[in-house]
Amino acid sequence: VDKGSYLPRPTPPRPIYNRN
């Protein structure tokens, strides 16, 4: 779910939402 990548997920704080 890429749309929920910017949501508080149980994953490391990586710039997933900042990718082009």
The more confident residue out of 2 and 17 is: 17
Please tell me what DSSP assigns to residue 6. Answer: T
- Does the global pTM surpass 0.75? no
Identify whether the C-beta of residue 5 lies closer than 8 Å to the C-beta of residue 17. yes
Identify whether the C-beta of residue 6 lies closer than 8 Å to the C-beta of residue 17. yes
Residues 6+ apart with CB under 8 A from 17: 5, 6
Rounded mean pLDDT, 7-18? 66
**Res 2: pLDDT:** 58
The more confident residue out of 20 and 8 is: 8
**Res 18: pLDDT:** 60
